[in-house]
Structure 1
Amino acid sequence: MISLRESQPRVVHFFARCLTLRQTLTLRINRAPAVLAFAGAVLLLRTNTAESTPPPNVLPVQVAPAEEVDTLLRKRVYTGTLVAARRSALSFETAGKIVELVADEGDRVEAGQILGRLDTRRLEALRAQSQAELVESAARLREFIAGPRTQTIAAAEAEVRNLAAQRDVAQRNLERRAQLVASRAISREEYDEMLFEFRAAEARVDVAQKTLDELIAGTRQEQIDAQQARTQALEAVVADTRHRLEDAVLRAPFAGQIVKRNLDEGTVVALGEPVFELIEAAALEAWIGAPPRAVATLTPGAAMRVEIDNEEYEAVVQSIRPELDPQTRTQNVVLRIPRDPRLVAGQVVRAAIVQPIAMRGFWTPTASLTPRRRGLWAVYVVAAGRVEPRDVEVIETDGDRSFIRGTLAPGEPVIAEGAHRIVAGQAVTIASERPAVTATTKPR
């Protein structure tokens, strides 16, 4: 039989002191007032704290109103190349031997500056010969225009009178011979000889008279025209020789920089063989290829901003090529770039072209998007102090802003950031409000 003392549980104290059940209960009852006092103080402190701060599960958020637009301004960045506005392969306009080249690769030259010369000894001799022939022809032309001298005419007149006198003598002798032949004093043969002399003298008078008439009439116009044509032909030969001498000197057609030198002194060059390659130093151009639909939004003279080596520059649309590049199937846009000594032909140029697309939707901060199932997206809005999701479709993303469309209504406050910290149905409070994200403004 178990006694009452043995049936009571034993409590082991920290110092291994054994207490009975009655002693234990008595100890706990004595401590109860202190425990109740401590619990009351803690409850009073929690009540005062709850009255001064909002509930811990209400999250402050930043929102931006959803503003609907009817046009999507789609921006695309296209790449091009920086080229010189003018680039020329310089060559002599005549064949010959190079005797001097005064420029080298990298040299800057001015417009009209001499770059090289050819051997011109044969051309110099040809020019001297042509000039001498021209002087002779011009003198003869002046002589024809002036006509015969008076002394020449007087000499011709004297010659006519002399021949006329000889003719008259021959005529009288012929008359005497006629009487003698009638009386048979002379033979018929002697009479015929005298007749021949008379007719020869008469012919000489006619020739001299005609020559005199020609001198008096002056030089024929046909002779003057022929000599004038001969003189003009020689003038053309002299001018051609002068031009060939000028072509033997190579000059810079515009101010620029030599980028390549192909030949050296002593080389015999053919007509049109390139000697130097020159690029213009005054201005550079950017050639950018883009699809025709994007190029259609540009007009000559419009201003654009381009990026070259991580720096932005103001550019102007100079022209738009009317055909497509057969390799890239893009349309080239030529932009005029202001001169900057840091820019070099061949650098990569990037330009953004904005293409308007008729589409209704909303611009919203990219940070406001949260992924959904099956590749869908959503944004959270604040409605009656609670978070509600709106399923949307992401159409375009441009850095820290995105263009969306879906179940979002115009004017709803979209939670701008921190979508990963909230869930649907959560209680929130609006801490601040951002400006609406539009096609021309971006969230900060």
Structure 2
Amino acid sequence: MAHSILKQIVKRLVIVTGTVVVIATAGVAITFGSEALANRAASAPTPDAAKTVPVSVAPITLAHEYTTQRRFLGQIEPATEALLSFELNGRLSKLLVGEGDSVAKGELVARLDTSLLDAERKRLLASQNATRAQLTFAKTRLARAQDLQAEGFSSQETLDQAQATFDELTSRISEIDAALLTLDINSEKSVLYAPFAGRVGAQDVEEMETLTAGQSVLTLIETSTPQVRVGLPLHLSAEDIGQVSIVVNGIDYPATLDQLRPDIDPATRTRTALFSLQSDATFAFGQSATLSLETTVQATGTWIGLDALQQGSGSIWTVLVVEDGIVRTAAVEVLYLQDEQAFVRGSFAQGTQMIQSGAHRVVPGQQVQILAGEG
């Protein structure tokens, strides 16, 4: 039994001794490993400190108004366009102009057949001559009757009859004169003159056609002062419209406001404005034109490039500014967009340094370096 106990004691000593040896060996390994790692770390080069990102900034300059550029579609039309016609019935004997012809003011453009008027004039002139001859005799007879009646050789009835004949012939002469005047007027109305200088548009009849009074013969278009008709919003007044430009076929032409009508177009719910084009260029009437209208809006803000805008939370837009070398965000409200710029107002003050370019390379809270010569 004593032998068995001794055997167990020896076994336990062996286990304890092995454990101590393993622990000692591990400690030595850890010690030498730590020293090796420390020596390797000490021999490695020290990394450079992270460099600050250079950014381009510009001080914010506040403005108290901005100008909007709005465009409205319109149409070119002549200042005057007239449908020429005769006031009388008749046969068109001469049409002296054709479509597209240029005419001067007062130029003869058409004539009716006046043969019936000429015949009537001859008849009236003959009747006038005959009546004047009768009036001459009646005047002599009246003078004789007056002398005889004064001497007592003629009755009052004879004198009255002579007076009545004279008065009747005098009235007949006046009637013939009025008829001749009517013929003169009808003769004048049988010729058609251009009321203004321009060019012939549509030609509605041909020579030798029989026309009725008021039937359109041709359209005359004034070409010297073309106008542009545009529908404008109701809130605009004539005082809001100054010197404007109108684009036709990609070319800007200066224009001035002629009239702003007081009524509202029932179809478009706009007010019609008429502008005169200040140009000697030739325009095709009926073609489209675009009115470019500048309007000044009173608001405090600044112009920034679109690439400086960033989408914030929700519907808020932000820009990045630099304060003491640190990137911060400033909320802005976009008031107007034009080309590659936006007019905004926001939580910034005059002179705040805003990042103009490279905003995508930095984040709020990051330290940055302002490029030399800026800020």
After TM superposition, give the deviation of residue 135 of structure 1 in Å.
4.3
Q: How many residues align?
A: 332
1:266 is aligned with what amino acid?
M
The residue correspondences of 1:132-143 to structure 2 (distance < 5 A) are 132-137=126-131
| CA shift digits 1:13-32 (9 cap, x unpaired) | xxxxxxxxxxxxxxxxxxxx
Q: Secondary structure at the match of 2:235?
A: helix
The residue correspondences of 1:99-178 to structure 2 (distance < 5 A) are 99-137=93-131, 148-149=142-143, 156=148
Other-structure match for 2:154: 208
After TM superposition, give the deviation of residue 429 of structure 1 in Å.
0.8
Q: Secondary structure at the match of 1:424?
A: coil
Q: Distance in 2 between matches of 1:65 and 1:397?
A: 18
> Is the 2:142–2:166 contact (alpha carbons within 8 Å) kept by the matching residues of 1?
no
Q: Could you tell me the TM-score, scaled by structure 1's length?
A: 0.65
> Is the 2:254–2:279 contact (alpha carbons within 8 Å) kept by the matching residues of 1?
no
Other-structure match for 1:428: 369
2:313 is aligned with what amino acid?
R
Q: Distance in 2 between matches of 1:58 and 1:355?
A: 41
After TM superposition, give the deviation of residue 331 of structure 1 in Å.
0.4
Q: Distance in 2 between matches of 1:384 and 1:219?
A: 125
Other-structure match for 1:63: 58
Other-structure match for 2:30: none
Q: Secondary structure at the match of 1:420?
A: helix
Other-structure match for 1:82: 76
The alpha-carbon distance between structure 1 residues 233 and 157, as it changes in their structure 2 partners (threshold 3 A), is closer
The residue correspondences of 1:215-254 to structure 2 (distance < 5 A) are 229-254=171-196
Structure 2 segments unaligned to the other structure (5+ residues): 1-42
> Is the 1:62–1:431 contact (alpha carbons within 8 Å) kept by the matching residues of 2?
no
Q: Secondary structure at the match of 1:59?
A: strand
After TM superposition, give the deviation of residue 352 of structure 1 in Å.
2.5
Q: Secondary structure at the match of 1:233?
A: helix
After TM superposition, give the deviation of residue 308 of structure 1 in Å.
1.2
1:287 is aligned with what amino acid?
R
Q: Could you tell me the TM-score, scaled by structure 2's length?
A: 0.76
Structure 1 segments unaligned to the other structure (5+ residues): 1-35, 161-205, 435-444
Q: Distance in 2 between matches of 1:392 and 1:123?
A: 84
After TM superposition, give the deviation of residue 104 of structure 1 in Å.
1.6
> Is the 1:99–1:265 contact (alpha carbons within 8 Å) kept by the matching residues of 2?
yes
Q: Secondary structure at the match of 1:208?
A: coil
Q: Distance in 2 between matches of 1:421 and 1:264?
A: 78
Other-structure match for 1:91: 85
Name which of structure 1's ranges 425-434 and 72-81 shifts more when overlaid on structure 2: 425-434
2:181 is aligned with what amino acid?
A
> How much identity, in percent, do the aligned residues show?
26
Other-structure match for 1:163: none
Other-structure match for 2:9: none
C-alpha RMSD of the superposition: 3.5
Q: Distance in 1 between matches of 2:233 and 2:321?
A: 38
The alpha-carbon distance between structure 1 residues 57 and 269, as it changes in their structure 2 partners (threshold 3 A), is same
After TM superposition, give the deviation of residue 149 of structure 1 in Å.
4.7
> Is the 1:62–1:432 contact (alpha carbons within 8 Å) kept by the matching residues of 2?
no
Q: Distance in 1 between matches of 2:333 and 2:187?
A: 75
Instruction: Return the structure number with greater helix share.
Output: 1
After TM superposition, give the deviation of residue 99 of structure 1 in Å.
2.1
Q: Secondary structure at the match of 2:285?
A: coil
After TM superposition, give the deviation of residue 288 of structure 1 in Å.
0.9
| Greater C-alpha radius of gyration | 1
> Is the 1:64–1:416 contact (alpha carbons within 8 Å) kept by the matching residues of 2?
no
After TM superposition, give the deviation of residue 336 of structure 1 in Å.
0.7
The alpha-carbon distance between structure 1 residues 397 and 157, as it changes in their structure 2 partners (threshold 3 A), is closer
Out of 388, 410, 413, the position equivalent to 2:353 is: 413
> Is the 1:377–1:391 contact (alpha carbons within 8 Å) kept by the matching residues of 2?
yes
> Is the 2:60–2:349 contact (alpha carbons within 8 Å) kept by the matching residues of 1?
no
2:72 is aligned with what amino acid?
Y
Q: Distance in 2 between matches of 1:353 and 1:428?
A: 43
| CA shift digits 1:390-441 (9 cap, x unpaired) | 111212112232122221223323233443343323403145669xxxxxxx
After TM superposition, give the deviation of residue 100 of structure 1 in Å.
2.1
After TM superposition, give the deviation of residue 312 of structure 1 in Å.
0.7
Whether 1:317 and 2:257 are equivalent positions in the alignment is yes
Q: Distance in 1 between matches of 2:316 and 2:184?
A: 81
Q: Distance in 2 between matches of 1:298 and 1:137?
A: 72
Whether 1:270 and 2:216 are equivalent positions in the alignment is no
Q: Secondary structure at the match of 2:154?
A: helix
Q: Distance in 2 between matches of 1:400 and 1:291?
A: 26
After TM superposition, give the deviation of residue 318 of structure 1 in Å.
0.8
Q: Secondary structure at the match of 2:125?
A: helix
After TM superposition, give the deviation of residue 351 of structure 1 in Å.
1.6
Q: Secondary structure at the match of 1:292?
A: coil
